Amino acid sequence: MLAQQLGGIDLHLGDENQLRRLMQDEKLRSTETIRLKKLHLDLLKQDLAMEAMYDEDFTRSAMVMQWGQFLDHDLDFTPVDASISRFSDGLGCNETCVNDPPCFPILVPPGDPRIRYRCIGFSRSSATCGSGSTSILLGRPHHREQLNQITAFIDASNVYGSDEFDANQLRDLVYDEGKLRVGMPTAFNKPLLPFNIRGQVSTM
């Protein structure tokens, strides 16, 4: 539908499309390899040191950051892999410290007094069909590419949805005012998010 509106040209701007890279991906060992760090350890240490430093800004408020974050969430949203258990034996990704797809645990340095576990559970984001492991099945090995679940326009799709179905799910269809559905009112006259009565997950 989007391609038809753009004169038949598919610019991959609709939802469920592969994220476009701004830079060429680095050549890694396999289609599923993750780049762990920069090539030079000194640069990595420098980045960690910079995290503790910041410059004060007397002309901009935190609203600039919040607006930038809103725009980012409006342009791209990568869903987490549908499976949160490793494929080999079904063990949960939060129960293993072994890198076994789709699990990619974050190892905790030995002797770290802040964390008493050996690793922190981590699941990778969903890959587009034909990239990563599935690219081998197609005979065209290609590095893993991420999926964009919303439209790549500044269209408030993170609020109103990327298609008509999602938009109708979020709208208050009782009154023809085009407003979003809301939930129970609070003491401050600001309603909560609505119940998701049609799905398995509630937004409350």
Please report the pLDDT score of residue 14 as a whole number: 64
In a domain, 177, yes or no: yes
pLDDT digits (tens, 9 = 90+) for 172-200: 888 878 788 888 888 888 888 887 766 55
In a domain, 183, yes or no: yes
Q: How far is CA 204 from CA 77, 112, 114, 178, 182, in A?
A: 21, 36, 32, 22, 10
The answer to whether residues 136 and 31 touch, using CB atoms and an 8 Å cutoff, is yes
Is residue 143 annotated as a catalytic residue, yes or no?
no
Please report the pLDDT score of residue 43 as a whole number: 46
In a domain, 176, yes or no: yes
**Residue tagged active-site, from 12, 73, 142, 143:** 73
pLDDT band at 6 (very low <50, low <70, confident <90, very high): very low
In a domain, 100, yes or no: no
Please report the pLDDT score of residue 70 as a whole number: 94
In a domain, 111, yes or no: no
Please report the pLDDT score of residue 67 as a whole number: 95
> How many structural domains comprise the chain?
1
Please name every residue paired with 127 in a beta bridge, in sequence order, or none if there are none: 146
Residues 132-138: what's their mean pLDDT? 72
Map tokens 């007397």 to a residue. 58
- Domain hosting residue 198, numbered range: 171-204
Please report the pLDDT score of residue 199 as a whole number: 59
In a domain, 185, yes or no: yes
The residue that leads in pLDDT, 79 or 61, is 61
In a domain, 193, yes or no: yes
Query: Is the pLDDT assigned to residue 201 strictly greater than 60?
Result: no
In a domain, 180, yes or no: yes
